[in-house]
A and B are shown apart, each in its own frame.
Chain A
Amino acid sequence: MKNHSTLKKPAIKLHAGQNVIGKWHHQSYTVVRKIGEGAIGAVYLCTQRGRPVALKISEQDAAVTVEVNVLKALKKVQGYRLGPSLLDVDDWTAPNGRVYSFYVMEYMKGDRLGAFIQAEGKKWLGVLMIQLLDDLEQLHQAGWTFGDLKTDNILVESNPPRIRLVDVGGTTRMGRSIKEYTEFFDRGYWGLGTRKAEPSYDLFAVAMVFLHIYYPRRFDRVAGEASGKLLEKKLYRAKDLDLLHPILKRALKGKYLTASEMKKDVIDKMKQLQRRSHYHKKTRQKKNYPVLESFSISIVASIYWIISLLLP
């Protein structure tokens, strides 16, 4: 005979208007709508005394506790806001009688990276990549690898545009094995590296994130074709990324050992670009010069000619 507690805990679905009340801290949250779903549980937009919050709930208690640990550790990294801030951790007895663990974090408003670039244009690519690398650098220095870095986990807050990383489900201590990943962004899937948590793991994913903007439907590995070649081909077909090609290629090959190395290359590229556009303006002026010169010479010449005609 099976008793109640040995049966597999069913996945939990919350509906709009439902109240989730914590068993330990007695806070009450009213569900507005679902805003995301992953391998571990789902995230809901809720209100708590009128203010919007994001609530993550899962049937896997252990995974919830692990994520909470990560958020708490990130909170200790001083002077920098990596990931959403944690507001509450608690358990809730669902109508089905089972207890589900959940945690509550700040609700971040923004566009997904892909949507933002589509709306605002490729001119933002460099700036956002620098921001992203900046955040990763901080995270890496604090001893963590983000892990499940993908377009869906990167929000762009507006005014001014600022990258925010969400969902720390894959965030893993350096040197350990990556906890959670998404195949398209995972170098292990492409056969281009291990799943050990180290900066180059995230930097590979950064390159894939930017590739994903131009291949929104993603693509799969091809049996019998070297993945390195395939990714390079796809990269060259994404024309909007052309200036970043060498940098992205290095990241895909695992050549960057730290986020700051990669960031430096992006910054240099941006500077180079600015200089070049400056130079473009100058050369354009120079190009106008000879025309102007010959024009003025011919005017002077014709004046002489007219004068010579008038003079007897």
Chain B
Amino acid sequence: MKAGTLKQILLLTDGCSNKGEDPAVVAGLANQQGITVNVIGILDDDQTEEPEGLREVEDIAVSGGGVSQIVYSERLSQTVQMVTRQAMTQTLQGFVNKELRSILGKNQSMEELEPEKRGEIMEVVEDLGETSDLEVVVLVDSSASMRDKLETVKEALVDLSISLNARIGKNRFCIYRFPGRRNDIELVLDWSPKLDAISQVFPKLTSGGITPTGPALRAAMYQFSKKQLRRKWDEEPFDIEETGY
């Protein structure tokens, strides 16, 4: 099986969206385009229970075909890399399941196989996870309440690139913040294989109390197609949607 490119949006937020379309709906749309949407909800250190606003986190990830996790900022680094990897595995597993169904019949999926056979398939999934290329659009909530968390977010993203760059497959990241000063999202770092350089460009300032998560997700989704136009003449990428969405 040939390794190809996996596409993910990683949304980091600490609250509920309050402007524009429903982010879960947009995430569903993105997922139909072969993009996985992962969401990490960041808790304040003194928050003892999950606030209402973070309920949305799970909904977005579920309809975006991705993984969600709610964490305190001290655990952010490990969570970001775990969520990204878990989502890669999940996507590849979905792809393998589809193949299985086309070979073995409608109701076959990995879960219905006995554990021994599952192990062999999982090795294939792991191989793919290690060798496929990965593109991640990172979307950072920079509304006022995030002010104290931005430094931790920056560290977590550098850490993520350390983890992913140890893989055999290639990586490309770009970072957007939302809301932007003029638009729904604002570019922080353009497509790049490493994130070591973000220290200089990462925002320290936050902007206002508006959290337009839905519109921001929609704008993030378009970053992939823009890039695909640019590399139109490159070799054909491995696309999840090719297998019949």
Residues of chain A at the chain B interface (Cβ within 8 Å): 2, 6-8, 24, 39, 60-63, 65-66, 68-69, 72, 89-91, 99, 101, 175-181, 183, 188-189, 194-197
Q: Check: B93 CB closer than 8 A to any chain A CB.
A: yes
How far apart sit A91 and B167, CA to CA, in the bound complex (Å)? 30
User: Which residues on the A side are within 8 Å of B58 (C-beta)?
Assistant: 8
Task: Name 8 A/B residue pairs within 8 A (Cβ), A-sorted.
Answer: A62-B125, A89-B116, A99-B111, A176-B168, A177-B163, A178-B166, A189-B77, A196-B166
Judging by beta carbons under 8 Å apart, are A8 and B68 in contact? Answer: yes
From A175, which residue of chain B is reached at the shortest CB distance?
Answer: B168
| Nearest residue, chain B, Cβ from A22 | B115
Considering the chains assembled together, what is the distance between the CA atoms of A8 and B110 in angstroms? 17
Known: A8-B62, A177-B167. A65 touches B118 (CB 8 A): yes
B108 at the interface (CB under 8 A from A): no
Looking at B43-51, B82-90, B213-221, the stretch in contact with chain A turns out to be B82-90
| Bound: A24/B166 CA distance, A | 37
B162 touches A60 (CB 8 A): no
- Tell me which residues across on chain A come within 8 A of B93, comparing CB atoms: 62
- Convert B204-222 into 0s and 1s, putting 1 for each residue whose CB lies closer than 8 angstroms to a CB of A: 0000000000000000000
Number of B residues near A (Cβ < 8 Å) is 32
Contact, CB under 8 Å: A188 / B163: yes
Tell me whether A24 and B122 are in contact (CB under 8 A). Answer: no
- With a cutoff of 8 Å between Cβ atoms, the chain A residues found around residue B9 in the complex are none
Which chain A residues lie closer than 8 Å to B167 at the CB level? 176-177
Q: Give 9 nearest A-B pairs by CB, closest first.
A: A177-B166, A195-B166, A89-B115, A65-B122, A177-B167, A196-B166, A188-B162, A62-B89, A69-B119
Question: In the complex, what residues of B have CB within 8 A of residue A62's CB?
Answer: 86, 89-90, 93, 122, 125
Q: For residue B110, which residue of chain A has the nearest CB?
A: A61
Q: How far is the CA of A175 from the CA of B126 in the complex (A)?
A: 13
Q: How far is the CA of A195 from the CA of B111 in the complex (A)?
A: 31
- Report chain B residues within 8 Å CB of A101: 115
- A228 to B10: give the CA distance in the assembly, Å: 32
Residue in A closest to B79 when the chains form the complex, CB atoms: A39
Q: Which A residue sits closest to B119, measured CB to CB? A: A69
Inter-subunit contact A189/B159 (CB<8 Å): yes
Nearest opposing residue in chain B for A39, CB measure: B82
| Chain B residues within CB distance 8 Å of chain A | 58, 61-62, 68, 77-78, 82, 85-86, 89-90, 93, 110-111, 114-116, 118-119, 122-123, 125-126, 130, 159, 162-168
Partner among B119, B162, B163 whose Cβ is within 8 Å of the Cβ of A68: B119
B68 proximity list for chain A (CB < 8 A): 8
Q: For the complex, what is the distance from the CA of A189 to the CA of B167, rounded to whole Å?
A: 16
Docked pose: A188 CA to B163 CA in angstroms: 8
User: A69 and B123: CB pair below 8 A?
Assistant: yes
Whose C-beta in chain A lies nearest to the C-beta of B123? A69
| A181 and chain B: residue at smallest CB distance | B78
Interface contact A91-B115, CB-CB below 8 Å: yes
Q: Is the CB of A2 within 8 A of B62?
A: yes
Query: Inside 8 A of A177's CB, which chain B residues have their CB?
Result: 130, 163-164, 166-168
Q: Tell me, in angstroms, the Cα distance from A91 to B115 when the chains sit together.
A: 8
Q: Are B130 and A65 in contact (CB under 8 A)?
A: no
Residue from B85, B122, B166 within 8 A of A194 (CB atoms)? B166
Q: With A and B bound together, what is the CA distance between A69 and B124 in angstroms? A: 12
A199 CB → nearest B CB, Å? 15
Q: How far is the CA of A175 from the CA of B68 in the complex (A)?
A: 29
Q: How far is the CA of A69 from the CA of B62 in the complex (A)?
A: 28
Cα A194 to Cα B163 with chains together (Å): 8
The CA-CA distance from A68 to B159 in the complex, in Å, is: 28
A202 to chain B, nearest CB (A): 14
Chain B residues contacting A89 (CB-CB under 8 Å) are: 115-116, 119
List 9 extra interface pairs beyond A183-B77, A188-B163, CB under 8 A.
Answer: A7-B62, A8-B68, A60-B86, A61-B110, A62-B125, A69-B126, A90-B115, A180-B82, A183-B78
B118 surroundings in chain A (CB, below 8 A): 65
In the complex, are the beta carbons of B130 and A176 less than 8 A apart? yes
Return the chain B residue nearest A176 by Cβ. B130
Closest to B59 in A: A2
Smallest CB gap from A68: residue in B: B119
Q: Which residues of A contact B125 (CB under 8 A)?
A: 62
Check A195–B162 contact: CB distance below 8 A: yes
CA distance A214 to B115 in the complex (A): 42
How far is B162's CA from A2's CA once the two chains are assembled, in angstroms?
Answer: 36
User: A60 contacts which chain B residues (CB < 8 A)?
Assistant: 86
Q: Are B166 and A69 in contact (CB under 8 A)?
A: no
User: Given A7-B62, A62-B93, A69-B123, does the pair A195, B115 have CB atoms closer than 8 Å?
Assistant: no
Residues of the B chain whose Cβ atoms lie less than 8 Å from the Cβ of A194: 162, 165-166
User: Contact: A69 with B115, CB < 8 Å?
Assistant: no
Distance of A6 Cα from B65 Cα, bound (Å) = 9
Bound CA–CA A181/B58 (angstroms):
25
Smallest CB-CB separation from A60: which chain B residue? B86
Beta-carbon contact of A65 and B115 below 8 Å: yes
Give A99's nearest chain B residue, CB to CB. Answer: B111
Residues of chain B within 8 A (CB-CB) of A180 are 82
Contact partners of B61 in chain A: CB under 8 A:
8
Most buried by A among B85, B93, B123, B163: B163
